[in-house]
Amino acid sequence: MAVFKKYNGKKINSKHPAYSKARWWVYRRVKSHKTIHQVIPEARTREEAELAERQLVKQLFDKSYGITDTTTTFTDFVESTYRKYVEQNNVNKGAKNLYIKLLLKHFKSQPLHTITPQNCRDCRSKLQSGKNQRKKKSSLSPSSVNRIMSTLSKIFSLACEEGILDRNPMQYVKALPEPPPRKRLLTAEQKEALWKELESDQLLYRLVQLAVNMPLRRGQLLALDENVIDFENQRVWVIGSKGRPPRSVPINATATSVLRDMIADKQLPFPITDFRKRWNAVLIRAKINKPGGTREENYHFHDLRTYFASELIRRNTNPLIVQNLFAHSDMSITNIYAETDADLMLEAVKQLDNSKSETLGIEKAGGNSVRIESSSP
């Protein structure tokens, strides 16, 4: 039997009590070395399962003999396959849905097999000249365009895996050059000015105190409430970010004190409805941001994560611990936040002044040449 029902991993017949809610499966050996063995969750009747079986056999036949799928459109594949991939792999759903919207607007119902590398470059150019999501006059940044094009490449890769395409047209499209990352650390004077201005806004002051003592994003901080705080074990449970599951985060004495004060004042969850307005006003008064400054020029609340990481580095914290605090899957992501400020680098080289190892003297050796000799015997 090529189609059958399975329940708890075992094949069952119509007499089984769970037969009605079990799912249909297809098992079909095509030739001697190719086998179709997969679930058909959409099938409700044997006839539907057998129809799915015939379609799977045809797809395998077409792939074996180089027959291209000319019916699947870009929209069809995104809606039927890529959205399912996003859900199953816990990627950043909010960002991916925005990227999908922009890509669907460009490719619409164009058949997948007709999309060329030049079509992809045309899409990239259109994104470059388009408006950003806040509808300002400035266009999308190169890094934003590259992220969208990376999503497009993944869509084509999935189509290749499904046998719909023979090659990914994005493999011939180069990424846009991106500007060097902006400096995200405040100077000592800027830090002092920021804390001074925050004193006039108790709620925002407490939010920033938590941000520089906990590895959490703004949304996670704003969602904290009394029920997720375990003062006895010095931990809080926070909602996941970018599709990740909730996790436990340690809290130090400073964060504990702030959270206790907020619970006493009934300020959890944070009753902030005009965060952006209040935050920008503080930064402008502290002369860190300029009125009307660009995204690249301004300091952002998210940059406080760099503040947090840099303070840990200043105290010689193991980089692996920093990575685990941020819940990053790769150290290269953590390195984005792990910046060192100029003062810390100056202190590092000053340590050589007091070194007990041999000192080096520099002497001219005639002309413009210079040699380095040891001054010790």
Cα distance between residue 116 and residue 148, in whole Å = 17
pLDDT value at residue 368 = 47
Q: Which residues contact 159 (CB under 8 A, 6 or more apart)?
A: 72, 77, 81, 112, 165, 168
Average pLDDT over every residue of 247-276? 92
More confident residue, 75 or 140: 75
Range(s) for CATH 1.10.443.10 in the chain?
188-345
What pLDDT, in 10s, does the model give residues 319-365? Answer: 888 788 877 767 766 666 666 656 656 666 666 676 554 444 444 44
Whole-model pTM: value is 0.59
Residues spanned by CATH 1.10.150 within the chain?
74-172
The structural architecture, per CATH, of the domain 188-345 is Orthogonal Bundle (1.10)
Q: Please, which pLDDT band fits residue 366 given cuts at 50, 70 and 90?
A: very low
- Residue 39 is predicted with a pLDDT of 86
If you classify domain 74-172 with CATH, what class do you get?
mainly alpha
Distances (CA, A) of 178 to 19, 95, 153, 282: 57, 19, 18, 30
Q: Is it the case that residue 257 has pLDDT exceeding 80?
A: yes
Residue 342 DSSP SS3: helix
* Contact status, residue 220 vs residue 315, Cβ threshold 8 Å: no
**Quick check: helix, strand or coil at residue 78?**
helix
154-181 residues labelled b (16+ CB within 10 A) or e (exposed): bbbebbeebebbeebbbeebeeeeeeee
The answer to whether 16 touches 22, Cβ cutoff 8 Å, is yes
- Quick count: other Cβ atoms within 10 Å of Cβ 371? 10
pLDDT tops 70 at residue 66 = no
How high does pLDDT run on average in the chain? 82
Angstrom distances, CA of residue 268 to CA of 105, 124, 199: 41, 44, 19
pLDDT digits (tens, 9 = 90+) for 100-124: 999 999 998 899 989 999 999 999 9
In tens, the pLDDT along 14-41 reads 899 999 889 998 888 776 557 788 888 8
Highest average pLDDT, of 30-39, 208-217, 289-298, 353-362, comes from 208-217
The mean pLDDT of 254-276, rounded to a whole number, is: 93
Residue scoring higher pLDDT (295 or 13): 13
Q: Is the pLDDT of residue 253 over 90?
A: yes
Q: Tens digit of pLDDT for each residue in 258-267?
A: 999 999 999 9
